[in-house]
Amino acid sequence: MESYLFPFDGLICMLLGISFTVWFTLLLVFIIVPAVFGVSFGIRRLYMNTLLKIFEWATLRMERGAKEKNQQLYKPYSNGIIAKEPASLEQEIQEVRRVGGAEAEFDMSDILFFCRRGVESIVDDEVTKRFSAEELESWNLLTRSNYNYNFHNISTRLTALWGLGMLIRYGILLPLRVTLAFTGVGLLVVLTSLIGLLPNGGMKNFLSEKVHLMCYRICVRALTAIITYHDSENKPKNGGICVANHTSPIDVIILASDGCYAMVGQVHGGLMGMIQRAMVKACPHIWFERSEVKDRHLVAKRLSDHVADKTKLPILIFPEGTCINNTSVMMFKKGSFEIGCTIYPVAIKYDPRFGDAFWNSSKFGMVNYLLHMMSSWAIVCSVWYLPPMSREEGEDAVHFANRVKAAIARKGGLADLLWDGGLKREKSLLIDDMLPDFKQTY
């Protein structure tokens, strides 16, 4: 019996070897090598256009199916946490009295109405909604959606298409993306460590730049990121600070795949710490110990010393200090605007039709978030390099920061808000934790 199994075992091993060889060859030829030389075969653009046509067909099929079944396809007035009709306060009071049969100018039941409206305003305030995922009116064949119904149950074709999409995303794209991510990070750690052994000079800087660009481009392909860069003549230059709105940790990869930057951040342990230690050997990134982060004067001095050296890369900073959900720009911290150097604003806007790039760090860990990213269809975004800006005479750091923020919001089509993004972590304002039953009711 065992003698008959040996040929089958050998055949299985041979097929596995062939599959691995083919997989690695395709990976090397179509992804890694183009990333090394910074070229593209246009496969991702073709993939994006194909997805758009599929989404368009699915939307038409959903609308037709809902019409045939006399069902409501979308929830109305779903822009906020609470569904509210766009009516004035007077109209709502008149409607309440009409239903209740009251004719007086004031009725005791009006008190309950005003209480409800007051609590609704607290729950659905302008800040809280900026820290929840941006929702789509139409379905993009992904599972997550709070404001639509079970679209894949409308017809058999949509169910089959949704299942096929799940198979492609989790069975093909996810393993490919995970492989690319490990390849990019592994090469970054190994190559930057080797470059760190070289003496300081032009050759070391040249090799460091090429290695960083190559590894970040591989990581971009690990997310199937399709990025459109605008106004490249305004790209940040040495001796300046690049500031951008912040939606996701991958903002760093999105920008660094088109140019090298000196990163600023806190020293970490574990895998992230190993990556930081390897990167700083090849390039003068700025890492702070936990005790140093709160020392504003020390932080400002190290940033000033860096930008004073015109041979060093521009610093990349996200002045919001936290991730916002791709709909707005919130208050910029003034620290990076006190340095007295040239500021290079950058606006980043993601297309939510292909995947939600927003990271709610209060609810999801980094691993969970990255798996969510890698199981989406793609990451599609536009990047605008704005003209450099300098602090005007008599202008303080706060007004300068607000002027830069307004320019970024205007270019990216984002709402310009004055609120501090740190409110995201203030429990007193997060009604998600305080009034869950109320939010479910309304």
pLDDT of residue 360: 80
Backbone φ and ψ of 394, nearest 5°: 80, 0
pLDDT of residue 255: 92
pLDDT at 148: 47
> Which has more confidence, 29 or 406?
406
In the prediction, which pLDDT does 22 show?
67
Q: 343, 298, 294: which is closest to 286 by C-alpha?
A: 298
Q: Quick check: 440 pLDDT over 50?
A: no
Tokens representing 353 are 């039709």
299 pLDDT tier (thresholds 50, 70, 90): confident
pLDDT computed for residue 118 by the predictor: 66
User: Mean per-residue pLDDT for 327-340?
Assistant: 85
Asked if residues 178 and 197 have their Cβ atoms less than 8 Å apart, the reply is no
- CA angle in degrees (0–180, nearest 5) for 147-95-125: 40
Crossing angle, helix 89-100 and helix 109-123, to 10 degrees? Answer: 140
Chain segment 381-427, per-residue pLDDT in tens: 999 999 999 988 888 888 999 999 999 999 988 888 887 766 665 55
Token readout for 84 is 């509210």
pLDDT value at residue 403: 93
Count of beta carbons in the 10 Å neighbourhood of residue 257: 24
Instruction: Indicate the pTM of the whole model.
Output: 0.76
What residues contact 89, with CB distance under 8 A and at least 6 apart?
A: 117
Whole-number Å distance between alpha carbons of 400 and 392: 8
pLDDT band (50, 70, 90) for residue 429: very low
pLDDT digits (tens, 9 = 90+) for 91-130: 666 655 555 555 555 566 666 666 766 666 655 556 666 6
Q: Which of 156-170, 290-304, 420-434 has the highest mean pLDDT?
A: 156-170
pLDDT at 265: 78
pLDDT (tens digit, 9 = 90+) per residue, 248-297?
A: 888 999 999 988 898 887 777 777 778 888 888 888 888 877 666 666 77
Q: What is residue 366's predicted lDDT score, i.e. its pLDDT?
A: 80
Residue 343 is predicted with a pLDDT of 92
Share above pLDDT 90 across residues of the chain, in percent, rounded to a whole number? 11
Measure the CA–CA gap between 276 and 407, rounded to whole angstroms. 32
Residue with the bigger pLDDT between 43 and 243: it is: 243
How many other C-beta atoms are found inside a 10 Å radius of the C-beta of residue 253? Answer: 21
pLDDT higher at 100 or 41:
41
Mean pLDDT of the chain: 76
- pLDDT of res. 79: 44
Closest CA to 338 of 262, 386, 388, 399: 399
* 269 φ/ψ sector (left φ>0, alpha ψ -120 to 50, else beta): beta
Domain ranges of the chain: 151-418
pLDDT of residue 436: 43
Confidence bin at 82 (pLDDT 50/70/90): very low
Which range of 146-155, 215-224, 378-387 scores highest in mean pLDDT? It is: 378-387
What is the distance between the alpha carbons of residues 55 and 243, in angstroms, rounded to a whole number?
Answer: 34
The pLDDT of 130-143, averaged and rounded, is: 64
d(CA 163, CA 160): 5
Residue whose token pair is 């919130």? 330
Please say if the pLDDT value at position 78 is more than 80: no
Helix, strand, coil share of the chain (percent; to 5) = 55, 10, 35
SS3 396: coil
364-384 mean pLDDT: 87
